Amino acid sequence: MMRSPQDTARLALACLDLTSLNDADDEAAIVRLAERAAAAPGRVAALCVWPRFVRIACAQAPAGVAVAAVANFPEGSVDVERAVRDTGEIVAAGAQEVDVVMPWRALAAGDEAASATLLRAVRRACDGRLLKVILETGELKTPALITRASQIALAEGADFLKTSTGKMPVGATPEAATLMLQAIAADTAAAPRVGFKAAGGVRSVADAAVYLDLVEAMLGVQALTPRRCRIGASALLADIEAVLAGRNRETGPAGY
């Protein structure tokens, strides 16, 4: 479906996980993040923060905006105890969503069990919450590995497949997104319910349009809602605001 830049900007805003995962973050930074969300020209989907900031994020988030926090982040270690501890902290503090990093290094080395075991434990620890599994696709060097990571995450109860932590040189790419969406579409249990999240390097409405179009093409227009489609970014909101205000912006693909 062809959308105007303004329609794309509105959709990207509704699907935006406004994110602050800087090493120097403090409570003041999270308050500013919430204020940024409150001042946006529409409601974002969620605020995404470190586990230690969940309480302040919950207290400050605008009405209707969820709070997400990261577990096993950013390393994606095989330490199940650590991942479950992170998840327990997130749940106890009141977040509605958990973004957990799959042990991608172990998977790349041929150890599928480590990923499955950790994700299964985290799924149990956040029962009833939305679980997004970060595959770190920029570090999974072959299509087969990205597909297999997607399949393992789906088998262990992921509600979303997410591309990247944003901490590696390669973040979201259309090629990785296509493989992840193909895995969702091919899984009869996942196809009607599991979502996709692009994160890492999505900085403009033109960037976001690429992933929104892929979700629509592969999961259907009904998947273009915050329940099935997310974009994790901190810089994207400024371009969304510029597009909605009609200000000049860099040109990009598809007429942007």
Catalytic positions = 99, 162, 197
Measure the CA–CA gap between 203 and 233, rounded to whole angstroms.
7
Q: Residue 142 carries which DSSP code?
A: S
Angle CA 17–34–242, to nearest 5: 65
Measure the CA–CA gap between 151 and 145, rounded to whole angstroms.
10
Measure the CA–CA gap between 161 and 46, rounded to whole angstroms.
16
Half-sphere exposure of 26 (CA within 13 A, CB side): 2
- Return the amino acid letter for 92: A
Measure the CA–CA gap between 97 and 189, rounded to whole angstroms.
21
Measure the CA–CA gap between 243 and 229, rounded to whole angstroms.
20
- Number of residues that this document lists for the chain: 256
| Residue carrying structure tokens 């262990």 | 156
